[in-house]
Amino acid sequence: MDKKFSDYVILCLTLVVALITYGFSLINHSLTIDNEMQIFPDFAMELGRWGQNLVVYHFLNGHTPYFTTILSLILFSVSALKIANLFAFENYSKIIFCLLFITFPQISYQIVFQIMAVIAGLGILFSVYFTEIFNNYTLKKEKKNKDHLKLAFAVLLLVFTLAMYQAFIIVPVVLYTIIILLNTDKKDFVIKNTIKNGLIFVLILIISLCIYFVSVKLFCKNIQDNGYLLSFISSGSNSQENMFSVFYTILKENLKGDMYFGEKTYILCAVGLFFLMGMAIYERKNMGIKLLMLLALLVLPFIISLFITNGYHPPRIYLASNIVFSFILIKVIEKLNIKNLTLTNITVSCVVLYNIYLVTKLYQSSNKIFENDKKIALKIDFLINSKFPEFYKSEKYVYFHGSLPFDFHQNLRVEKAEIFGGSFFNWDNGNNFRIINFINNIDYNNYKIIDQKLIYEKINQEELSKMPIWPNPESVKVFGDVTVVKFSDTKGVPLPFE
Query: Hey, where are the domains in the chain?
Result: 7-337, 363-486
Mean pLDDT of 123-150: 86
Where residue 238 falls among pLDDT bands split at 50, 70, 90?
Answer: very low
pLDDT recorded at residue 410: 83
Report which DSSP code applies to 430. -
pLDDT at position 279 over 60: yes
pLDDT higher at 39 or 315: 315
Is 159:114 a contact under the CB 8 Å cutoff? no
Give per-residue pLDDT as tens, 318-366.
999 999 999 999 999 888 876 666 778 888 999 999 999 999 999 999 9
Is 86:326 a contact under the CB 8 Å cutoff? no
Buried-state track 64-98, b at ≥16 Cβ within 10 A, e below 16: eeeebbbbbbbbbbbbbbbbbbbbebeebbbbbbb
* Strand order across the 476-479 sheet: 397-401, 482-486, 476-479
* 14: CB partners within 8 A, 6+ apart: 77, 80, 81, 98, 99, 102
pLDDT at position 226 over 50: no
| pTM of the full structure | 0.91
Separation of alpha carbons 432 and 422, rounded Å: 15
pLDDT recorded at residue 227: 45
pLDDT recorded at residue 229: 47
Where residue 144 falls among pLDDT bands split at 50, 70, 90?
Answer: low
pLDDT recorded at residue 143: 65
Mean pLDDT of the chain: 88
Where residue 164 falls among pLDDT bands split at 50, 70, 90?
Answer: very high
Give per-residue pLDDT as tens, 382-417.
888 888 887 776 778 899 999 998 887 888 888 898
Separation of alpha carbons 155 and 173, rounded Å: 14
User: Computed from CA positions of residues 55, 56, 60, 61, in that sequence, does the dihedral angle turn out positive or negative?
Assistant: negative
Buried-state track 388-407, b at ≥16 Cβ within 10 A, e below 16: eeebeeeebbbbbbbbbeee
Is 50:97 a contact under the CB 8 Å cutoff? no
Helices (H) and strands (E) in the chain, counts: 19, 3
pLDDT recorded at residue 147: 80
Kindly report which listed range (64-78, 202-216, 287-301, 406-420) carries the lowest average pLDDT score: 406-420
Helix, strand or coil for residue 494? coil
pLDDT at position 498 over 80: no
Question: Measuring CA to CA, which residue among 79, 80, 110 is closest to residue 96?
Answer: 80
pLDDT at position 231 over 50: no
Q: Are strands 482-486 and 476-479 parallel, antiparallel or unpaired?
A: antiparallel
Is 291:193 a contact under the CB 8 Å cutoff? no
pLDDT higher at 244 or 400: 400
The angle subtended at Cα 33 by Cα 31 and Cα 36, nearest 5°, is: 60
Beta bridge mates, 152: none
Mean pLDDT of 195-201: 94
CB neighbour class for 241 (10 Å; exposed up to 12, middle 13-18, buried from 19): exposed
pLDDT higher at 244 or 222: 244
pLDDT recorded at residue 222: 65
Beta bridge mates, 398: 483
Q: Is 404 left (phi over 0), alpha (psi -120 to 50) or beta?
A: beta
